[in-house]
Structures are given as structure tokens and as C-alpha cells.
Amino acid sequence: MGCYSIANVYSMSRITKKDIKLMSKTRRIKLNKEELFWHYSVVLFILMVPIFVTLHIIQYYFFDNYDGVRSPSELAIGYWFILLAILIYYIQKSRLKMKCYNIKTTEEMFKRAIEKTAAELNWLIEQQDKNFVRAHRNWDWSSSWGELITIIREEDKILINSICDPNAIFISVISYGHNKKNVKTFIENLKKEIRTHAQIQDSYDTTKNIDH
């Protein structure tokens, strides 16, 4: 399942207009302190290896209670996990960025695309207005422990992000393709709504011209 630790109970915080404005400006999603902790907790999990290595080396050189079978030079291999932790930190940081699509849409088309995508992918809408949506998808038998989806509608752009849900019962750093699926499905549904609207408008204009 790609999980490694258990998070606290679900505690998604409400996003304010100020938060939305900040996300729109920085192109990064807003998480509360608890969500940020669980999002980056894999880094702390990895750092446990060099921490234990350091404790064992201290025991080896300064105390007489070290009973391990590895020498300090062998234990020092564990410090390579620091580089892995740094790499994972930057990966997790990059996952908070919002993807930007140059799509101009109306409030109604935006709403219909949200409703259609939510029905298709079993999104649970936590917060929604005419320009903003935050939703999550719960765990199912698809290998993912759930995702957190954030979408902002601007005048001529759509900002969207999907990450492994930091509020899930089990924390995961792998969505098995569900994050990409969330983004792709919504954008496709939104484009379909735009095409449908354009076709209806063309049909109306054609009929109007014939009547005249």
C-alpha cells in the first residue's frame, strides 16, 4: 500500500478567502500544521535510521553497553539515509505545487465538471464555492489510501493539485496513479463542458440566423 505510519483522525481545516488568495499567488496548496507534519513525516521516518546509528556509535565509543555485531564503520553506512531524506523532502515539497491550465470557464461549467468528476471518482466535497473546491477521496481497494484535491478557478486559468491525503488513517507517499487520474479526469470533464457549451451556442446562433 506504500504506507509507513498511522495518522490522527481526519482533521481537514477550512480554507479561508485569504488562503485561496495566497494559494493563487504562490501556486502552492495550503495545509494546516498537522497536515504539513503528516505530509513530511516520511522524512522524519527515514531520519530515524541515522539517529539510531548515532546512538549506537555513541554507545560504542563512550559507553560499555553496546552489544551490536556491527562496527562503527559498518554502522556509518546508515548516514546515507540523510541524503535520501533530503531527496524525499524536496519531492514532498514539489508535490504541494498547483498545476496551472490556461482554461477560461464559467461558474456553471466549473460546477458541472466538479459534480461529474466527483461522481466518477467518488470525491467527497469538503468545501466549495464558485471559484474553489477542496475534496478528498477515501481509501478503497485500489491500493491508494486516499487523496486530497484542491482546485481554484481564476478568470482564465484553472489551478489544481492532488496529493496523498495527509488526513487519511494511514499515511502514504504513493498514490498508484490516482493523483494524476484526479487531475486528468477533472480537466477532461471541464473541457467537455466547454465543448458542449460551444456546440449549443453554435447551434443557437445557426438557428437564429436561419430565422432571420
Express each pLDDT in 3-42 by its tens digit: 333 334 445 678 999 999 999 999 999 999 999 999 999 9
State how far the alpha carbon of 150 is from the alpha carbons of 9, 12, 75, in Å. Answer: 20, 12, 43
Express each pLDDT in 66-114 by its tens digit: 777 778 788 889 999 999 999 999 999 999 999 999 999 999 999 999 9
Selection from 78, 36, 24, 71 nearest residue 53 by Cα:
78
Judge contact between 126 and 211, C-beta under 8 A.
no
CATH 3.30.310.80 for domain 98-212 = yes
- Choose between 14 and 188: higher pLDDT: 188
pTM: 0.84
Selection from 143, 159, 162 nearest residue 151 by Cα:
159
Residue ranges covered by each domain of the chain: 32-95, 98-212
Q: How confident is the model at residue 159 (pLDDT cuts 50, 70, 90)?
A: very high
- Please give the Cα distance from 76 to 70 (Å, whole number): 10
- Please give the Cα distance from 108 to 141 (Å, whole number): 33
Judge contact between 90 and 179, C-beta under 8 A.
no
Q: How confident is the model at residue 172 (pLDDT cuts 50, 70, 90)?
A: confident
Question: What is the three-class DSSP state of 9?
Answer: coil
